Copies of this chain bind each other. A is one copy, B any other.
């Protein structure tokens, strides 16, 4: 069962709409609102959401208190900008959502709680949560807005449900100088010019696609500086013969 996203005393309708969009990016649809400042429904929230995110708002439930919004929740994470003086575990989103997936698989109902813009959750709100999520941002510039905090949490919720990917192929050989970007650009330019002169890009209407394919080919190769010299040299040699 998917986690509930509880917004406590949200202020701007636009931010509620943006939070609904952020949720739906990661398939989350159970939005709960505690005492939204400007009442509910809120036309500014609807305007900010769109399409299916509007349906998330339509289905959102509104509660007078956080306690009521959490009535069916077994385990809740409160998001705060910094750790508090509370004796609760303070988790990164990664650890918290791994824990949440584990609890969900055991049948627990999970919620993530977000506070109002600027002020954040009050201690009374945090007291109702079992654990705290703090996103590890630059301590000199923490500036996540409400929708961004929801976004990162939703991202972590779905992140590890994907199959692991292998790293891209084609690391360059160890100990060899990597071709710089500008060296690869020059190589691609050189080949494109000479091939153009040689009438390679024919018929004319296919030339742009052919050039694009070739650009892609060069930038995909794990070329060393030595490799680029070889390709330049081969090209010069081919032209000389011709």
Contact = CB atoms under 8 A, between A and B. Distances in A.
Interface of A: 21-22, 24-27, 50-53, 67, 70-76, 86-89, 91-92, 94-95, 98-99, 102, 108, 123-124, 126-131, 135-138, 140-144, 147-148, 151-152, 155, 158-159, 162, 164-169, 178-182, 185, 212, 215-217, 219-220
22 contacts: A24-B138, A25-B141, A25-B144, A27-B138, A50-B143, A67-B185, A71-B180, A74-B181, A86-B216, A87-B220, A88-B219, A92-B159, A98-B167, A99-B167, A135-B155, A136-B158, A144-B151, A147-B148, A148-B148, A148-B151, A151-B151, A155-B155
Contacts of A136: 158-159, 162
A215 B127 contact: yes
A197 B27 CA distance: 47
Given A123-B212, A148-B148, A148-B151, 15 more contacts: A21-B141, A24-B138, A24-B143, A25-B138, A25-B142, A25-B144, A50-B143, A51-B141, A53-B143, A88-B216, A92-B162, A127-B212, A131-B168, A136-B158, A155-B155
Contacts of A142: 25
A168 B90 CA distance: 8
A143 B25 CA distance: 6
Contact of A74 (B76, B86, B87, B178): B178
B138 A180 contact: no
B124 A212 contact: yes
B25 A130 contact: no
B127 A181 contact: no
Contacts of A95: 164-168
A211 B89 CA distance: 19
Contacts of A67: 185
Contacts of A162: 92, 136
A80 to B, nearest CB: 13
Contact of A181 (B22, B73, B165): B73
